[in-house]
Amino acid sequence: MKSGPNNRRGSEGSNQLGMELADRGWLDQALLEFNRAIELDEQDPFPRINRASVYMEQGRMMEALEDLLTALRLAPDDPTTHYHLGVFLTRHGLELGKRELQTSLTQDPDQVDAMLHLGATHADLGEFDAAEAAIRSALDADPDDPWANRELGVLYLDRGQVHEAIDLLRRARDASPEWSDVEVDLGLAYLQAGFLDRAEQSLSSAILSEPDNLYAHYNLAAIHARREQAEQALIALERALALDPARCIDWLRDDPMFESLRKHSRLQDLLNLSPSSPT
């Protein structure tokens, strides 16, 4: 239906009434008004945005997302459409993703990739027991899968189960020896366990595979700093700062591994030379 002047006035009136009804908690009646507003003016994004808010209140997340995406297509240059979609994604994106992965596994329970992604999503939400269960399902399907071993290893590392993490990460590394990210994870696990020589070996191996690996250079610097090997620590830290100065400075701010270097003049020079250091 085309939206002439009379239809636009009717659409705006229904949209306003819908907002008032929604504010009072009368959600079904509000939906009727937003539906009418959309019928009267299909090009107006705002009744769809408001209808999406009601759908969210009712737990109808996919319908809410559909409305927000349609509103964005209708008004791509309106910041309000981007704002509402952004808020939805930050609040509900992971939950929505989790729900879809669970549905996918219900329809096909043997999808290892879906199990791993579901585990990672649970972990991002802080649901560690559910994350472990999902990843263990993937390992039951293929005990040698490097992704599954790495994901569970990283989960254990985050939970402070360092020795279990080392076991799993070594399996992942053995199955995929060129995977530099696993070497970094293994180096971090060794570092947390206090095995500095093994940590240095893993991080150095990661740098050989990926010379610009920020995490490997930074944590190698931390190992040297802990050993009070100032020159080697500063060389590694300089490389890390060159890759991502803002992130390194943020890490350095509270990192106890670098206490021995805090007053070193060259560290101050490196920080002052960094483009992201505070003035």
Query: What's the average model confidence in pLDDT over 7-29?
Result: 88
Q: Which of 142, 151, 146, 97 is closest to 119 using CA atoms?
A: 151
Query: What's the average model confidence in pLDDT over 6-13?
Result: 69
Domain boundary pick from 170, 186, 207 = 207
Q: What is the pLDDT of residue 2?
A: 31
**Token pair listed for 108:** 């096909």
Strands (E), the chain: none
Query: What's the average model confidence in pLDDT over 76-98?
Result: 93
DSSP 260: G
Q: What is the pLDDT of residue 274?
A: 63
Confidence of residue 4 (pLDDT cuts 50, 70, 90): very low
The whole-model pTM stands at 0.74
Q: What is the pLDDT of residue 269?
A: 76
* Together in a domain, 177 and 250: no
Query: Is the four-CA dihedral 184, 190, 196, 197 of positive or negative sign?
Result: negative
The pLDDT tens digits for 177-229 are 889 999 999 999 999 999 999 999 999 999 999 999 999 999 999 999 999 99
DSSP 82: H
pLDDT at residue 107 greater than cutoff 50: yes
Q: What is the pLDDT of residue 275?
A: 60
pLDDT at residue 62 greater than cutoff 60: yes
Domain of residue 186: give its range.
111-207
Q: Are 257 and 237 in contact (CB under 8 A)?
A: no
pLDDT at residue 276 greater than cutoff 60: no
* Together in a domain, 2 and 97: yes
Q: How many domains does the chain contain in total? A: 3
Mean pLDDT of the chain: 91
Our measurement of the distance from residue 173's CA atom to the centroid of its chain's CA atoms, rounded to an integer in Å, reads 23
Separation between Cα atoms, residue 13 and residue 9, nearest integer Å: 6
Q: What is the pLDDT of residue 9?
A: 55
* Together in a domain, 49 and 122: no
* Together in a domain, 220 and 200: no
* Together in a domain, 145 and 188: yes
Q: What is the pLDDT of residue 277?
A: 52
* Together in a domain, 1 and 100: yes
* Together in a domain, 100 and 9: yes
Separation between Cα atoms, residue 64 and residue 184, nearest integer Å: 40
pLDDT-above-70 percentage for the chain: 94
Q: What is the pLDDT of residue 1?
A: 28
The pLDDT tens digits for 261-274 are 888 888 777 777 66
Domain boundary pick from 154, 181, 207 = 207
Confidence of residue 58 (pLDDT cuts 50, 70, 90): very high
Q: What is the pLDDT of residue 278?
A: 46
CATH code: domain of residue 169:
1.25.40.10
pLDDT at residue 168 greater than cutoff 90: yes
Domain boundary pick from 104, 123, 141 = 104
Separation between Cα atoms, residue 15 and residue 34, nearest integer Å: 5
* Together in a domain, 15 and 84: yes
Q: What is the pLDDT of residue 178?
A: 87
The pLDDT tens digits for 128-139 are 999 999 999 999
Q: What is the pLDDT of residue 10?
A: 86
